[in-house]
Amino acid sequence: MKKIVWNMKFFSLLSRKHPILLVLFALILLISCGDDEQNIITDDDPDVVVTPPEDPGQNTNGDLTLEFAQVYGGSQDDTFHSVIATTDGGFAALGYSQSVDGDITDNSEQVNMYWLIKTDSDGNIQWSRTYGGSDDDRAEHIIQTNDGGYALAGYTTSTDGDITQNAGFYDHWIVKLDAIGDIQWERSYGFTGSDQLFSIIQTSDGGYFTGGFLDVSASQGDGNNGFNGSNDNDSDTRTVQHGVGEFWGHKLDTNGNLEWRRYFGGTNNDRVYQVLEAQDGGLLLVGASESNDFDVTDSRGSYDFWAVRIDLQGNLLWEQSYGGSEIDIAYAATATSDGGYLLAGDTRSNDLDITDFIGSADVWLVKIDDQGNMQWQKTLGGSNFESARAIVPYNQGYAITGGSRSADGDLTSNAGQNDIWVATIDSNGNILAQQSLGGNNQDFGYGIAAYQNGLIITGDTQSTNGDITASRGGLDAVLIKLQ
């Protein structure tokens, strides 16, 4: 950086002969110093890079500064699996709780209930609500809806309380709330087996699409209806060979009523963890597949990342597997600005699609286009275990969160057994900034959202020191704000 040096004799002479000129020179000097601090100078020096001013609504310097790490819950086990930045500048965190004390004020049953808190921008609880019945209810995903309310997605074994219908064991359960957390409607979908829901989006027509898995053996082939004239009584001839899981998507109208549903998979375990809407109004289902037959045409081995692209009527457009010979699981995905998608999860493979395996398990990123073609892939991590559970667009790249046990490679520290790990990456998957957050015990990140000035992360913790300075008892839900 060029510096301006002034001769003191010059200033002395100027002050005696031309005091007005002295004031003008002083103003020029102040302006020059101000520009220097902002790293904005003229570009006539070929050795100097001109940096434009930052958008005050975005943190573009790559740093991650911890604003707070707050725990929430009661004396039993509590967790958050999803978080959003709300339109009023606060946050909403969703998970499930067994507690009947502490921050949980409306539950008298010591069983898992959907648990939602609404906070201000500093993490102070504005309201806390639980939803469910007298059995096991586990919430996985929250979105803010077009009307300013919320939609919650998860699964339930309850048959009472807020649940009006259950077909047996776990069912998909969707709850629509208004802006203050009151239930507007709820819907259960499932059969007699373990049917679990992990993701929900609001579609461009104002309705919803959900993704999870179906125990198709227990359903005896039912679960495809409303698409191409099929119905719940049309058994799938593959049923006798199927395992316990199928990708299962539901298209709902604005009131949660079923328009159609369809499942995809093979003879083994296939599970959806994220659904997205494509630019053409179609849908993408992302998760993991253990199958190598029927709808799965190109298995890599063991569990693979598996993406299924369908149109808005539920017709299969393409499916594609990504991975190696070991276990590879995609837990999250986001749409990219070029019309493609970025998938995130973890891999234990060191062959086939994985070209730079680092440790016991790595975060694995796979960039694909809208036809399912892999454009690039990248592993992140250290010599131990890393996993990504959520990904969002952030600045001109992306941000991920999950868990880490390493203190080497791409990671610089580890506070305990397992830390919450957050990393920002550019559009090619290169790390811009990363940070491990946690204490002396188990800490894990499950949800992430971008807000105006940074990132908000949810997960759970058993730590009592380090970044986690309080414990409510058992497993605590945690909310972390970074700028």
Q: Helix %, strand %, coil % for the chain, to 5?
A: 5, 45, 50
Give 95-136 pLDDT, tens digit per residue. 999 999 999 999 988 999 999 999 999 999 999 999 999 999
Domain-embedded: residue 55: no
Domain-embedded: residue 384: yes
Domain-embedded: residue 58: no
Q: Which SS3 state, helix, strand or coil, does residue 264 take?
A: strand
DSSP 156-216: E---STT-----SSSEEEEEEE-TTS-EEEEEEE--SS--EEEEEEE-TTS-EEEEEEE-H
Quick one: tokens of 263?
């499942």
Q: Both 304 and 368 in a single domain?
A: yes
| Cα Rg of the chain, angstroms | 26
The CA-based angle 87-89-92, given to 5 degrees, is 75
Q: What is the Cα–Cα distance from 347 to 359, expressed in whole angstroms?
A: 10
Give 403-416 pLDDT, tens digit per residue. 999 999 999 999 98
Q: What is the Cα–Cα distance from 164 to 132, expressed in whole angstroms?
A: 10
Q: Both 252 and 318 in a single domain?
A: yes
Q: Both 30 and 126 in a single domain?
A: no
> What burial letters (b/e) apply to 409-420, b meaning 16+ CB within 10 Å?
bbbeebbbebbb
Contacts (Cβ under 8 Å, ≥6 apart) of 361: 346, 347, 348, 381, 385, 386, 387
| CA distance to 74, 79, 213, 337, 481, per residue, from 461 (Å) | 13, 8, 27, 34, 15
Domain-embedded: residue 450: yes
Burial of 58 (0-12, 13-18, 19+ CB in 10 A): middle
Supply the pLDDT for residue 27.
37
Considering only CA atoms, which of 475, 355, 465 is closest in space to residue 415?
Answer: 465
Q: Both 385 and 414 in a single domain?
A: yes
Domain-embedded: residue 300: yes
Domain-embedded: residue 12: yes
Domain-embedded: residue 53: no
Q: Both 29 and 143 in a single domain?
A: no
Q: Both 138 and 269 in a single domain?
A: yes
Q: Both 112 and 160 in a single domain?
A: yes
Q: How many C-beta neighbours within 10 Å does residue 4 have?
A: 9
pLDDT of the chain along its 483 residues, tens only?
Answer: 333 333 333 333 344 444 444 433 343 333 333 333 323 222 223 222 222 323 333 444 457 899 999 999 999 999 999 999 999 999 999 999 999 999 999 998 899 999 999 999 999 999 999 999 999 999 999 999 999 999 999 999 999 999 999 999 999 999 999 999 999 999 999 999 999 999 999 999 999 999 999 999 999 999 999 876 455 444 455 554 556 799 999 999 999 999 999 999 999 999 999 999 999 999 999 999 999 999 999 999 999 999 999 999 999 999 999 999 999 999 999 999 999 999 999 999 999 999 999 999 999 999 999 999 999 999 999 999 999 999 999 999 999 999 999 999 999 999 989 999 999 999 999 999 999 999 999 999 999 999 998 999 999 999 999 998 778 888 999 999 999
Q: Which SS3 state, helix, strand or coil, does residue 235 take?
A: coil
Count of the separate structural domains present in the chain: 2
Range of the domain at 364: 63-482
Q: Both 162 and 209 in a single domain?
A: yes
Supply the pLDDT for residue 356.
97
Q: Both 37 and 95 in a single domain?
A: no
Q: Both 424 and 456 in a single domain?
A: yes
Q: Both 2 and 134 in a single domain?
A: no
Are 467 and 439 within 8 A, CB to CB?
yes
Q: How many C-beta neighbours within 10 Å does residue 481 have?
A: 21
What's 198's domain CATH number?
2.130.10.10
Give 155-211 pLDDT, tens digit per residue. 999 999 999 999 999 999 999 999 999 999 999 999 999 999 999 999 999 999 999
Q: Both 120 and 42 in a single domain?
A: no
